[in-house]
Amino acid sequence: MKFTAAREALLKPLQAVIGVVERRQTMPILSNILLVVKDGQLSVSATDLEVELVAQADVDTDSGGEITVSGRKLLDICRALPEGAEVHVSASGEKLSVRAGRSRFNLATLPAAEFPVVEDIKAGQSISVSQESLGRLIEKTHFSMAQQDVRYYLNGMLLETGQGRLRAVATDGHRLALSQVGVDGSADAQQVIVPRKGVLELQRLMSGEGDVELEIGANHVRVQLDGIRFTSKLIDGRFPEYERVIPKESTNELKADRGVFRGALQRTAILSNEKYRGIRLVIRDSGVMLQAHNPEQEEAEEELEVEYSGEDIEIGFNVNYLLDALGAVEGDVVTLSVQDSNSSCLIREPGNEDCTFVVMPMRL
């Protein structure tokens, strides 16, 4: 294997895939990346056995071949080379040689045959969606995913197709975020759970223009975009019946300026309990009072003018959950609907049915 490429052309695919290369690996091959050179194309693959990324670049090929080499070291070398440098890469025996100007590096390799590759995911359906829409779906819901919950099916995001839409849902048992977008064609009804790492890696990739192809198989989901192929295993589990926990809209509805409300929550939260982050909302016709206190006997209080029609309610929430939901609402106005002090709160932007946020109350 022997090829030549500009530093920048080599850097781009390396940076695209490095996110899934784990620093501490039980299997040495997983800290390596797979380089495949064929017909003037370099393919760079990385995997942690859960998520796989493959990126491509055009190179001048002298001879084809495939080899695996340390992903971090090769990336660090390319980053450290001067801009515009021409990089000559060749494999000989068990070493990979990297030359640029007067610099020369010899890297240890492992056989390409040992590298685990996901070839065909046996896609049951393929959906075309814009990068912007898919990126927004993830952005509006990812913060509600659980982290290392024993209920493993919560440590990821539900993707649901059907009824001419693609829907993303995430919940950690204390809050829920739902976002949806219309898609062309009649997508089959299907539910799959993408693991947390796959969701965050996919979010990182969603930065360009144009459409992406979303393929859903029995055990994998795959997205093709801008010379990058993303593949993730799916979580084998049953996602909760999320629609049952979304409360009906109540007559007790508070309407506020999103920016003003968010600012007041952030200020009050400064003196909340650092562990539980509890904050009390005292809701009256005259407005809402935000209250927080902590074990050091410190207190914060702020009054806020809002539109409210309904009964007087005192209710407690984890302030971080409210702030995350308000951060995901796009409009200037937000509505909070709550049945009583023991019921979940429904957060929406007026007139927007595509995004819904639910936050459970907490005892204070």
Between CA 111 and CA 173 the distance in angstroms is: 44
Check which CATH number belongs to the domain holding 63 and give it. 3.10.150.10
Mean pLDDT of 203-222: 90
What pLDDT, on the 0 to 100 scale, is given for residue 185?
Answer: 66
Asked if residue 309 lies in contact with residue 251, where contact means CB atoms within 8 angstroms, the answer is yes
The pLDDT mean for the chain works out to 94
State the residue for tokens 């062309």.
184
Across the chain, how many H-helices and E-strands are there?
Answer: 6, 26
Among candidate residues 45, 75, 89, the one with its CA nearest the CA of residue 227: 45
Mean pLDDT of 239-268: 95
What pLDDT, on the 0 to 100 scale, is given for residue 176?
Answer: 98
Whether 217 is in a domain gets the answer yes
> 299, exposed or middle or buried, with CB in 10 Å at 0-12, 13-18, 19+?
exposed
Enclosing domain of residue 70: 2-114
Whether 204 is in a domain gets the answer yes
- pLDDT for 255 beyond 90: yes
Q: Which residue has the higher pLDDT, 27 or 4?
A: 4
Q: Are 240 and 132 found together in one domain?
A: yes
What pLDDT, on the 0 to 100 scale, is given for residue 97?
Answer: 98
Asked if residue 304 lies in contact with residue 267, where contact means CB atoms within 8 angstroms, the answer is no
Pick from 244, 279, 295: which residue ends a domain?
Answer: 244
Pick from 198, 216, 244: which residue ends a domain?
Answer: 244
Between CA 352 and CA 332 the distance in angstroms is: 12
> 128, exposed or middle or buried, with CB in 10 Å at 0-12, 13-18, 19+?
exposed
Percent of the chain with pLDDT over 90: 88
Three-state secondary structure call for residue 307:
strand
Computed from CA positions of residues 19, 24, 29, 35, in that sequence, does the dihedral angle turn out positive or negative? Answer: positive
Q: Are 215 and 145 found together in one domain?
A: yes
Among candidate residues 289, 298, 292, the one with its CA nearest the CA of residue 272: 292
Q: Read off the pLDDT of residues 38-95 as tens digits, 9 standing for 90 and up.
A: 999 999 999 999 999 999 999 999 999 999 999 999 999 999 999 999 999 999 989 9
Whether 364 is in a domain gets the answer no
Asked if residue 57 lies in contact with residue 41, where contact means CB atoms within 8 angstroms, the answer is yes
| Total domains, the chain | 3
Mean pLDDT of 294-310: 95
Between CA 229 and CA 363 the distance in angstroms is: 46
Computed from CA positions of residues 199, 205, 206, 211, in that sequence, does the dihedral angle turn out positive or negative? Answer: negative
> 258, exposed or middle or buried, with CB in 10 Å at 0-12, 13-18, 19+?
middle
Q: Read off the pLDDT of residues 148-190 as tens digits, 9 standing for 90 and up.
A: 999 999 999 999 999 899 999 999 999 999 999 998 766 788 9
What pLDDT, on the 0 to 100 scale, is given for residue 210?
Answer: 87
Mean pLDDT of 266-277: 96
- Which ranges constitute the DSSP H helices of 40-93? 71-80
Q: Are 108 and 133 found together in one domain?
A: no
Q: Are 197 and 230 found together in one domain?
A: yes
Pick from 183, 209, 244: which residue ends a domain?
Answer: 244
Tokens of 143: 């913060």
What pLDDT, on the 0 to 100 scale, is given for residue 150?
Answer: 95
